[in-house]
Amino acid sequence: MGADLSKLNLECLAIGSMPHTSVKDAFTLIEKYFFGVPFWPQMVKVSKNEDMILQFLEGMPSFFIDRSYLDIEYDGFYDDLEQLFLDYETVVAGEGDELLEKYSISESFASSIPSFLNFVQSKKPAFAKGQLVGPFTLSTTLVDKDGKCAYYDETLREIIIKVLSLKALWQIKKINEVSPETTPIIFIDEPSISQLGTSAYVTISDEDVVGMLKELSDVIKGAGGLSAIHCCGKCDWSLPVKCGVNLINLDAYSFSQNLSVYADEVEKFLLAGGKIVWGVVPTLDKDALVKADLAVMVDKFVEAVKYLTNKGINEKLILDGSLVSTSCGAGSLSIELAGKAFKLTKELSEELKKMYR
């Protein structure tokens, strides 16, 4: 697509969920504060189906909405599995776009997508944001009927990667259909990578996780989208960099210093054109959000950048590769506090553009 990524410099965006029960009310805020990079929110108070795990399971062999586990023993499983792999290969080869509708995210699982597509069609933004739960987080959350984590079943792991890839491609296709000049950005939400190296995942290798994420990222980029990884906890940030994503997004209110531990990898990432999305505005700490104002947000951003400049990374390189966002989704907040978080994010973007441009 050849998108001009400089248009993203110090731009603002939001992450995931919103607390609203009205899609119309949600998009009133999105148009006001995230016009440059609109997104479709997870309306977590509308339906349990909009939970970040459930939302992306439609059409996945082994998944049944009325069960608490994945079932690979039902009649027809292997036929469904063979068809999934065939569909995947056909779509990734650039053929059979109509097959993607089998892996759509329906309105009953994402009530905001129709309004999002109407918004993109009407406003023709340079960028538009979609999202997916990450394959590592999904595969370590779901279990089979014996309670075994899906990650440890190679077949289930492949199913998860393939289905998520198809759902990413479906989002890209839908954005491209309504606005060919808009570049899709697909965020991969991976909170569980913050647990790598702990006793819970001691047998899981970093290389395997990188492989999963890289496969999904490569599919997104191959279709003309930008890929991003969001993690709202401390993590080894060299892993997302190794996956080849275009953007990395962290909770920079609480964990900005953690990124500087991987300064060498971050510098290479920025030099290669990568972008850091600093989640400076706290949505996971309600007390901090209540007290926050623009001055506090600016100070937090300056502090975050300084952690990297203190490691020898050029400030201009960092600023040219920076965006700002909320630290995580806003679905657990009150509507009033979510509005404050979005307003602060927009104000921070505008203030930083005045300071550094």
Q: In terms of pLDDT, which residue wins out, 195 or 107? A: 107
DSSP conformation letters of 274-289? -EEEEEEE-SS-HHHH
pTM of the model: 0.96
Q: 10 Å Cβ neighbour count for 231?
A: 26
pLDDT tens digits for 290-330? 999 999 999 999 999 999 999 999 999 999 999 999 999 99
Tell me the mean pLDDT in the region 144-165. Answer: 95
Closest CA to 345 of 285, 293, 304: 293
CA 231-237-241 angle, 5° bins: 105
Q: 10 Å Cβ neighbour count for 93?
A: 8
What tokens does 51 get?
Answer: 């939970």
Closest CA to 240 of 308, 295, 194: 194
Contacting residues for 320 by C-beta, under 8 A, at least 6 apart: 6, 9
Distance (Å, whole) CA 50 – CA 247: 24
Provide the pLDDT confidence category of residue 1 given band limits of 50, 70 and 90. very low
Give backbone dihedrals phi and psi of 277, rounded to 5 degrees, phi first.
Answer: -105, 105
DSSP 8-state code for residue 207: H
Q: What share of the chain is helix, strand, coil (3-state, %, to 5)?
A: 50, 15, 35
Does the pLDDT value for residue 88 go beyond 80? yes
Rg (CA), the chain: 19
What's residue 2's pLDDT? 59
